Amino acid sequence: MNPALTRLQPYPFEKLRALLAGIQPPADKSPIALSIGEPKHPAPEFVAQALIQHLDQLSVYPTTLGLPALRDSMARWCERRFFLGHEALDSSRNILPVNGTREALFSFTQAIIDPTPDALVISPNPFYQIYEGAAVLAGATPHYLPCLEEHGFNPDFEAVPAEVWQQCQILFICSPGNPTGALIPLPTLKRLIELSDQYQFVIAADECYSELYFDEDNPPPGLLTACIELGRTDFRNCVIFHSLSKRSNLPGLRSGFVAGDAKLLKNYLLYRTYHGCAMPVQTQLASVAAWSDEAHVRANREQYREKFAAVMQILAPVLPVQKPDGGFYLWLKTPIEDTHFARDLFAQEHITVVPGSYLSREVAGLNPGRNRVRLALVAPLAECIEAAKRIRAFAEQL
């Protein structure tokens, strides 16, 4: 077996199951899960119909590169959404379909890392655990940058020593962040590109929450936006990851894309050809429909706005809630140890949340997730309101 497997940490939900094991929550209270970031809004009916209409494609082998129509729909969406300009992306070179961002983040790392003894993969802390696992199994060492409230829940990139940047091969960023919901400002993205030029590392931007924001007139910028504003039309050493899971409530479709540096994507395509992960043709055609429509995405955002407004109004009198910049998580500060808060909340109110310390790593005695919990506001509005009322009642008696 690959000895690196022994270095993998338990997933947060494994830790959560162990924390809650043996507890019998009140039978008279219905269970409410705010722990897993799985969208619960209905999938768009027109996408389901497109999938059904093309089930005859089950008898066709898909290609790893994907259909030209799919790549074109992804490229044009990306240009519109991030103000890149017409045909800024060559859909035959700058776009590669993938089976969701989770699969892509992992496999991209395997393709990019040169497993030298000093190879580093830098990620925010707290973070999506795939970044860490991908680094370990690629033969690199994870390096964690704390996301603290005093820095707007973004890493302090200027505090990173030069020797760390010199060893860095991939910098993972996530904007809006999971679990903090923080956006990385456009000037910071430009600064990271400068550092990438200086130290020759790849920036891998996980932007899967980019379509969940609050101000309809001000969509958050992305890494490729920064590239274009810098005149970096080749997107050198910059790639972004997107999917339909959060944007379109289609986590089961397993459909997304990677876009950016054509040279990196050419080599990544070679890896994927051997990896055997082509997207089924019927899924590709359904994805074309999803990427070509924005009405359902705007309606999706409005549902999240309603939930955040209602939940924060209920919790604000008893807990220090802070509205995120985007995404569907509340990164809630707890008045007691985060694990105790999650355990007792489940025991008393039948609500499941994730301790922040399970989403982070302790470095030099600091765990940035300690005394916070992550609430995923993915359930229907009425259920989120009920959960908020129970959390308030729980907090009031602490």
Residue whose pair of structure tokens reads 């009920």 in the numeric block: 386
Residue whose pair of structure tokens reads 């355990």 in the numeric block: 343
In the structure, what pLDDT confidence band is assigned to residue 96 with cuts at 50, 70 and 90?
very high
Residue whose pair of structure tokens reads 């940047």 in the numeric block: 165
pLDDT per residue over 214-227, tens digit each?
999 999 999 999 99
Which 3 state secondary structure label does DSSP give 368? coil
Measure the CA–CA gap between 241 and 36, rounded to whole angstroms.
20
Which of 300, 307, 357 is closest to 334 using CA atoms?
357
Q: What number is the average pLDDT over the span 97-103? A: 96
Report pLDDT for 138.
98
In the structure, what pLDDT confidence band is assigned to residue 50 with cuts at 50, 70 and 90?
very high
The tokens describing 328, both together, are 């569907």
User: Is a pLDDT exceeding 90 seen at residue 388?
Assistant: yes
Q: What number is the average pLDDT over the span 73-101? A: 97
Report pLDDT for 101.
95
User: Is a pLDDT exceeding 90 seen at residue 310?
Assistant: yes
Determine what percent of the chain falls in helix, strand and coil, rounding each to the nearest 5: 45, 15, 40
Which residues lie closer than 8 Å to 271 by C-beta, 6 or more apart? Answer: 107, 110, 111
Helix (H) or strand (E) holding 18: helix 12-20
| Antiparallel, parallel or unpaired: β 354-355 and 202-206 | unpaired
Helix (H) or strand (E) holding 225: helix 223-229
Measure the CA–CA gap between 118 and 135, rounded to whole angstroms.
12
pLDDT per residue over 127-144, tens digit each?
999 999 999 999 999 999
Residue 126: is the preceding peptide bond cis (ω within 30°)?
A: yes
Percent of all residues in the chain with a pLDDT value above 90, rounded to a whole number: 99
In the structure, what pLDDT confidence band is assigned to residue 13 with cuts at 50, 70 and 90?
very high
pTM: 0.97
> Taking all residues of the chain, what is their mean pLDDT, rounded to a whole number?
97
* Torsional class of 364: left (φ above 0), alpha (ψ -120 to 50), beta (otherwise): left
Cβ neighbours around 316 below 10 Å, total:
12
CB 228 within 8 A of CB 80: no
Report pLDDT for 382.
97
Which of 146, 132, 260 is closest to 196 using CA atoms?
260
Name residue 106's amino acid. F
Report pLDDT for 276.
87
Report pLDDT for 39.
95
Q: What number is the average pLDDT over the span 77-82? A: 98
User: Is a pLDDT exceeding 90 seen at residue 126?
Assistant: yes
pLDDT per residue over 26-48, tens digit each?
999 999 999 999 999 999 999 99
CB 101 within 8 A of CB 206: yes
Measure the CA–CA gap between 83 and 210, rounded to whole angstroms.
14
Which residues lie closer than 8 Å to 382 by C-beta, 6 or more apart? Answer: none
Domains of the chain as residue ranges with CATH:
3-42+296-396 (3.90.1150.10), 45-293 (3.40.640.10)
Report pLDDT for 349.
98
Helix (H) or strand (E) holding 262: helix 262-275
Name residue 336's amino acid. I
> Which residues in 126-167 belong to E strands, given as ranges?
141-146
| Cα angle 183-122-155, degrees, rounded to a multiple of 5 | 35
User: Is a pLDDT exceeding 90 seen at residue 342?
Assistant: yes
Q: What number is the average pLDDT over the span 59-71? A: 97
